[in-house]
């Protein structure tokens, strides 16, 4: 039983391998009458696409998205929205040396063991190329949320041990503009510079490094999220953990919160006249699994990319010892290109729960 579908009411199904003809996505459940801005969708894809700077992979993909259905005269019709992104710069021969050898900390061995067959060209279905389809679908979800005033914004908060300070999220548009001024996508310019230098050094060593992305959802209405299993943060967590290379997720006070005492951690309610809000936000905008109107925030930890340019010991499909050296064109650090993916998956979760909440009360 495969698992290529995500969401309940705003539901996406992705398809496609790294080196096949195309990848794509079907969105089922997007409400009718939403204005579709194709340039916006393409713009989101451009933030994820390879070859955009010296600190990303040099694979060249235009990643041009095409809508095949579900949109009529610029508006959604309530029917499935199919989007397709052709693969162009496939260079499968880069991977011919990997046919029978399992790359360390990749999915080669597990796919081979599970299915007895695998498309060995560049990771096939396990490649992060699949996330382009998520970004396209997430852009539609973002358009839906924007129509309701909800914004989903993320940036690179850590590269290795370099951490960004807290950043201002009061103006989502300014946040995005500031972030896009540098190639590492960290809102704080000084930290960004440090991060870029670090990644560039790592790249020159043929090595890779991990990092973290922090995401915020602002102006989210009270009431999104369902008891018991489909808590809003549980679905956000699953969404993030389904992204390639993610090893950790925390929201609100997160892991640090587990070291605190209740008397410090509790978020006291106040009525500001305009709205009921909390003095602190250790809850991360979610209480009992349901949004409480405060900004939602969470952090996602990415491991270092597994493909490195040095020799490594491994085994082949016969179980014999083998040696492998990274080839192909890979990212020294995944987080700059992960920012739009994190935003896309978050937007999909929020859009889904927005729709689910429509039926809470008779």
**Cβ-defined contacts of 240-244 (< 8 Å, 24+):** 240/298, 240/300, 240/342, 240/345, 240/346, 242/6, 242/345, 243/131, 243/300, 243/338, 243/341, 243/342, 243/345, 244/126, 244/127, 244/128, 244/130, 244/131, 244/334
The interface with its own copies within residues 315-334 (CB under 8 A) comprises 315, 319-321
> Residue 74 Cβ, how far from its own copies at the closest point, in Å?
10
Q: Per rule CB under 8 A, is residue 337 in the interface with its own copies?
A: no
In the complex with its own copies, the residue whose CB is nearer, 126 or 181, is 126
The interface with its own copies within residues 287-306 (CB under 8 A) comprises 287-292, 301-306
Torsions phi, psi for 112 (to 5 deg): -60, -40
Q: Which of 48, 49, 59, 106 binds its own copies (CB under 8 A)?
A: 106
Torsions phi, psi for 209 (to 5 deg): -145, 150
What does the DSSP 8-state code read for residue 101? B
**CB crowding 225-262: b at 16 or more within 10 Å, else e:** bbeeebbbbbbbbebbeebbbbeebbbbbeeeeeeeee
Size of the site for its own copies (CB under 8 A): 148
> Residue 174 Cβ, how far from its own copies at the closest point, in Å?
27
Q: Per rule CB under 8 A, is residue 165 in the interface with its own copies?
A: no
Binding mask 83-102 for its own copies (x = CB under 8 A): -x-----------------x
Q: Per rule CB under 8 A, is residue 271 in the interface with its own copies?
A: yes
DSSP β-bridge partners for residue 316? 101
- The piece of 23-31, 36-44, 49-57, 185-193 that touches its own copies (CB under 8 A) is 23-31
Q: Per rule CB under 8 A, is residue 361 in the interface with its own copies?
A: yes
In the complex with its own copies, the residue whose CB is nearer, 175 or 298, is 298
Q: What is the gyration radius of the CA atoms in the chain, in angstroms?
A: 21
Binding mask 38-67 for its own copies (x = CB under 8 A): ----------------------------x-
CA distances 172 to 151, 187, 210, 218, 246, Å, are: 7, 11, 26, 8, 25
- The piece of 103-111, 164-172, 188-196, 336-344 that touches its own copies (CB under 8 A) is 103-111
> Residue 61 Cβ, how far from its own copies at the closest point, in Å?
16
Q: Which residue ranges make up the annotated binding site for NADP(+)? A: 48, 54
Q: Which of 89, 97, 180, 270 binds its own copies (CB under 8 A)?
A: 270
| DSSP H or E stretch at residue 165 | none
């Amino acid at each position: 039983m495969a698992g290529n579908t995500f969401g309940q009411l705003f539901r996406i199904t992705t398809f496609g391998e790294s080196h096949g003809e195309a990848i794509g996505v079907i969105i089922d459940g997007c409400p009718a009458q939403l204005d579709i801005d194709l340039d916006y969708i393409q713009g989101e894809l451009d933030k994820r696409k390879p070859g955009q700077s010296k600190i990303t992979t040099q694979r060249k993909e235009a990643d041009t998205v095409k809508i095949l259905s579900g949109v009529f005269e610029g508006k959604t019709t309530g029917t499935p929205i199919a989007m397709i992104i052709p693969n162009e710069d496939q260079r499968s021969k880069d991977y011919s040396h990997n046919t029978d050898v399992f790359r360390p900390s990749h999915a080669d061995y597990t796919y081979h063991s599970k299915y007895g067959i695998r498309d060995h060209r560049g990771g096939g279905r396990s490649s992060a190329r699949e996330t382009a389809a998520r970004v396209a679908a997430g852009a539609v979800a973002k358009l839906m949320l924007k129509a309701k005033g909800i914004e989903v914004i993320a940036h690179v908060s850590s590269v290795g041990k370099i951490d960004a300070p807290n950043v201002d999220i009061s103006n989502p548009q300014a946040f995005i503009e500031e972030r896009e001024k540098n190639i590492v996508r960290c809102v704080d310019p000084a930290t960004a510079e440090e991060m870029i230098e670090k990644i560039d050094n790592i790249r020159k060593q043929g090595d890779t490094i991990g990092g973290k992305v922090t995401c915020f959802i602002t102006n989210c209405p009270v009431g999104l999220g369902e008891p018991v299993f489909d808590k809003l943060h549980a679905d956000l967590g699953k969404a993030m953990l389904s992204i390639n290379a993610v090893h950790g997720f925390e929201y609100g006070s997160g892991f640090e919160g587990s070291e605190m005492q209740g008397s410090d951690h509790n978020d006291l309610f106040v009525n500001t006249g305009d709205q009921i809000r909390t003095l602190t936000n250790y809850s991360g905008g979610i209480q009992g699994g349901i949004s409480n109107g405060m900004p939602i925030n969470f952090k996602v930890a990415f491991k270092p990319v597994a493909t490195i340019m040095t020799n490594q010991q491994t085994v082949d499909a016969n179980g014999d010892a083998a040696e492998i050296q990274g080839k192909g064109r890979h990212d020294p650090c995944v987080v700059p290109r992960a920012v739009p993916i994190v935003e896309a998956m978050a937007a999909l979760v929020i859009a889904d729960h927005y729709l689910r909440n429509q039926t809470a009360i008779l």
